[in-house]
Amino acid sequence: MRLLVGINHQIRWTRVWSAGSSASGELERFEKEQKDLFRELLRSKIVERGVTFVGEETKQDEPSIAENLCASNRCDYDKC
């Protein structure tokens, strides 16, 4: 089973990149909400489809949501 997901690159990382960017905190809340929605979508697809491997194009030194999900769902993970 192959699953291909395309997203805004900023959403894939665990860190909230917009932290401190807006006085009201609205931008940070929006980014966090998008990350939470992506995390739940990816988690549900891994579980529903029995995904055993996730490959991801991302920064080598930046933890990603997919990487964390694979660690907690016994799913192999690799980044390039």
pLDDT, tens only, 36-77? 999 999 999 999 998 999 988 877 888 899 999 999 888 899
Determine the Cα–Cα distance for residues 62 and 45; give it in Å rounded to an integer: 23
Asked, for residue 56, whether it belongs to a domain, the answer is yes
- Provide the number of structural domains found in the chain: 1
The CA-atom distances, in angstroms, between 51 and each of 15, 33, 80 are 24, 24, 19
Asked, for residue 45, whether it belongs to a domain, the answer is yes
Q: What are phi and psi of 54, to 5 degrees?
A: -130, 125
pLDDT of residue 61: 86
Query: Residue 47's domain spans which residues?
Result: 9-79
Higher pLDDT, 26 or 1: 26
Residue 35's pLDDT band, with cuts at 50, 70 and 90, is very high
Asked, for residue 2, whether it belongs to a domain, the answer is no
Asked, for residue 3, whether it belongs to a domain, the answer is no
The CA-atom distances, in angstroms, between 30 and each of 2, 25, 50, 57, 61 are 29, 9, 30, 23, 24
pLDDT of residue 43: 94
